[in-house]
Structure 1
Amino acid sequence: MTEIKVAQTPSSVSATQGGSVLLNCTFEVISSSVGKFGWRRPSLNLEISDQIPFYRDSVVRSGQKLFAQKTAFIEIKDLAKFDSDLYVCEVEIRGVGKGKGNGTELIVIDNIIEMPGHTFLSKDRGDPTNLQQFPPS
């Protein structure tokens, strides 16, 4: 078995709470065989999938058509602070080998909402009904 070279872009990305982010992965392999890919959060030993209840409505993965073009992506929607972590793309080609990328560091930042004379910090997934004045008065 051979190690497949996997590249991820970007290496680091910041996104706002309540927003979404797209993480990309490409790989090099001579033959385009049947295979699979996945995304992991090594710190939690967790595969990112819409089969996991926490991610059920907030994850979109590319399909086999893009995989045949040696590329894959994952979109994470409705970001929360908990989503801040390192995400690693893993690729396996049957009969060829496996490989994984160096990871993409996702940093989820507070959603700041500015209105004339006031700045508010959204505390929960960008929900504008849950605002805290910043700095506190």
Structure 2
Amino acid sequence: MDTKTFPLMCALFAVSQAQDLVVTQPISAQGTEGGSVILPCSYHTTSKPKVGSYQWVKDPGLAVRKSTPEFMGRVNCTSDQHFLLDRRADLEIRDLRHYDSGIYRCVVNIHGLQEALGNGTELQVVKAAVGPIDVETGDSLVLLWLFLRGFLYTLGITAVALLTHLHYKKTISQEAQKRQSNYMENEYSEAMGNYTSDICPSSCTKKPQVSILKLQTR
């Protein structure tokens, strides 16, 4: 065999092997911060695969694995059984973060065939949007607010009326006690006056005056 044609035959053989393994993945995908996303990946071969593996790489070369610090505890890969039987190599990323955005490539290795990789899927992670409030929910909140406002207003008026009533009742009671005390004092004074008059009549009070006059004439 000519030494010049041997490298060409090897190159053609490698190209034929690469064509026997084709990896397909979508161009783009989108996820929300805090949510999860599945990056689909499938492959096609002319023969039934028996042994193989796959991996995901984020450009420019970061391996997407459970042990990678950037993705630790946040990725889930397709099982080996589904990989060989269903020819799937999907990747799930949970608890998405803004820095997860980028291009992800699916790399498939099948024993006896040359390694093949997909064209890449561009993942875009967006912020979670606050959805509009449902009309019925909004009306219910307004009605609830009006009810609470009316209840508090009524409660305030009732409290003021009750305090006013108690203050008025207390004032009346104090005045009644004061009148009763004055009445009792007047009754006591009048009784003492009557008692003095009964013990010492008016003639008793004049007798000492006469005695004093007699002493003066002497």
Q: TM-score range by the shorter chain?
A: 0.7 to 0.9
Q: Unaligned 5+ residue runs, structure 1?
A: 117-137
- Where 1:111 maps in the other structure, the secondary structure is coil
DSSP 3-state at the match of 1:14: strand
One-letter identity of the residue aligned with 1:74: L
Count of residues in Structure 1 that have an aligned counterpart in Structure 2: 114
C-alpha displacement of 1:115 = 6.2
Distance across 2 between alignment mates of 1:92 and 1:115: 47
2:104 aligned partner, one-letter code: Y
Distance in 1 of aligned mates of 2:127 and 2:69: 24
Match of 1:28 in 2: 44
Aligned equivalents of 1:91, 1:23: Cα separation in 2: 14
Summarize deviations over 1:91-128 as a string: whole Å, max 9, x none.
Answer: 01122221001111100011122465xxxxxxxxxxxx
- The residue correspondences of 1:56-75 to structure 2 (distance < 5 A) are 56-68=72-84, 69-75=86-92
d(CA) in 2 for partners of 1:101, 1:50: 21
Contact preservation (8 Å) 2:49, 2:111: no
1: CA distance, partners of 2:90 / 2:114: 20
Highest CA radius of gyration, 1 or 2?
A: 2
- Structure 2 residue aligned with 1:90: 107
Q: How does the TM-score come out when normalised to structure 2? A: 0.50
The alignment yields a C-alpha RMSD, in angstroms, of 1.4
Partner of 1:102: 119
Of the structure 1 ranges 85-94 and 49-58, higher mean CA displacement relative to structure 2 is found in 49-58
Could you list the runs of 5+ residues in structure 2 that have no partner in the other structure? 1-13, 134-218
Deviations 1:62-88 (A, max 9, x none): 111111121111100111110000000
Aligned 1:1-137 pairs, distance under 5 A: 1=14, 2-3=17-18, 4-8=21-25, 10-29=26-45, 30-43=47-60, 45-68=61-84, 69-114=86-131
- The one-letter code matched in structure 1 to 2:31 is A
Aligned to 1:122: none
The percentage of counterpart residues that share the same residue type is 32
For each residue in 1:23-73, what CA deviation from the matched residue of structure 2 results, as whole angstroms up to 9, or x when unmatched?
Answer: 111111123120100000122x11100011221211000111111121111
Amino acid at match of 2:23: V
CA distance in 1: counterparts of 2:59 and 2:71, whole angstroms = 16
- Which structure: greater strand fraction? 1
